[in-house]
């Protein structure tokens, strides 16, 4: 048995020309292996190919070329087993407004062939915080409750892999925190989580590894820590009691005066250290009331990798 939850090699998808829309190559030979038990971030701008990739995993879109193995099962050779190994929480709600949460979960479990004696409906309702709404029509649920129900539907067949496609889009902070607590619990229980999100701070906080896709191609894949370390730029921010200090800065250091009066010195950590900048300031007779440093975040990495492509 492989150590990978998901193995993708040479995955390509070309949409045929229709009407005025020309042929579009949505995926261009993507290779990606995702370790079992990880929380893995799949990021990219709109139109990058993320949704096409997820829809291929879900069996909703036929690939043009390549190979997909889900939990060791080849999607072409063992389609039933591969589909049973993965649960998809879609970005767009797909709920029948006349079903209750309990009914929706039971129907979904039936579609996956889960016997009634093995269904975990009450357990899932408790997990997603909808026990008190179990008999309410889905049309009466708030937007946040509907997103929780989508998570519940993805869990009915107890999949080994859970794909979350923009799970917190448009939800409030409290619901977002609850969803992430659930995700962490599911991961600790052994499930592999694949996450797409536009909230890059979430990916930074949650994901062990991240892959960035752009124009149908995988442009980078690494640990979150390594990706954050790819940017050499840092910022030293000081609060000074010296009015309008005149400075001759070391080579490679730039100064920006912020609206709140603080001075922000940007520099490459490979060429200059924060200590050298502070030493330069104190030798110039500038008083330092407060000093902080700012590190690049995942948004900076994302923009630097996708802007040039």
pLDDT in tens, 15-27: 998 878 889 999 9
Burial class (CB in 10 A: 0-12, 13-18, 19+), 190: exposed
* pLDDT 10s digits, 88-147: 999 887 788 889 999 999 999 999 999 999 999 999 999 888 999 999 998 899 888 888
User: What Å distances lie between residue 256 and 252, 263, 289, CA to CA?
Assistant: 13, 6, 18
- 3-class DSSP string for 142-195: CHHHHHHHHHHHHHCCCCCEEEEECCCCCCCHHHHHHHHHHHHHHHHCCCEEEE
The enclosing H or E element of 110 equals helix 101-111
pLDDT at 47: 86
pLDDT at 211: 93
Contact 161/6 with Cβ under 8 angstroms? yes
What is the pTM assigned to this prediction?
0.79
Contact 193/164 with Cβ under 8 angstroms? yes
What is the full DSSP assignment across 63-76? Answer: -SEEEEEETTEETT
Mean of pLDDT over the chain: 88
């Amino acid at each position: 048995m492989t150590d990978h939850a998901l193995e993708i090699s040479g995955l390509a998808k070309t949409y045929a020309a229709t009407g005025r829309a020309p042929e579009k190559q949505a995926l261009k030979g993507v290779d990606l292996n995702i370790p079992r038990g990880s929380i893995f971030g799949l990021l990219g701008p709109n139109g990058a190919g993320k949704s096409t990739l997820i829809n291929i995993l879900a069996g909703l879109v036929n690939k043009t070329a390549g190979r997909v193995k889900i939990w060791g099962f080849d999607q072409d050779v063992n389609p039933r087993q591969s589909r049973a190994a993965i649960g998809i929480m879609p970005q767009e709600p797909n709920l029948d407004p006349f079903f209750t949460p309990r009914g929706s979960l039971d129907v979904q479990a039936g579609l996956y062939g889960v016997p009634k004696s093995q269904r975990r409906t009450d357990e899932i309702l408790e997990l997603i915080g909808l026990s008190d709404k179990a008999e309410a029509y889905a049309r009466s649920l708030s937007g946040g409750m509907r997103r929780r129900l989508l998570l519940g539907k993805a869990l009915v067949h107890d999949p080994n892999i859970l794909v979350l496609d923009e799970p917190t889009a448009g939800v409030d902070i409290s619901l977002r925190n609850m969803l992430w607590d659930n995700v962490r619990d599911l991961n600790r229980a052994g499930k592999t989580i694949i996450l797409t999100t536009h909230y890059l701070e979430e990916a930074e906080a949650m994901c062990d590894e991240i892959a960035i896709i752009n124009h149908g191609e995988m442009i980078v894949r690494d640990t979150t820590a390594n990706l954050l370390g790819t940017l050499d730029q840092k910022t030293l921010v000081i609060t000074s009691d010296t009015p309008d200090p005149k400075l001759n800065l070391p080579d490679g250091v730039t100064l920006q005066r912020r609206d709140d009066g603080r001075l922000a010195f940007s520099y490459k950590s490979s060429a200059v250290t924060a200590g050298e900048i502070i030493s330069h300031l104190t030798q110039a007779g500038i008083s330092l009331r407060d000093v902080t440093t700012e590190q690049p975040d995942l948004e900076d990495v994302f923009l630097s990798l996708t802007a040039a492509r």
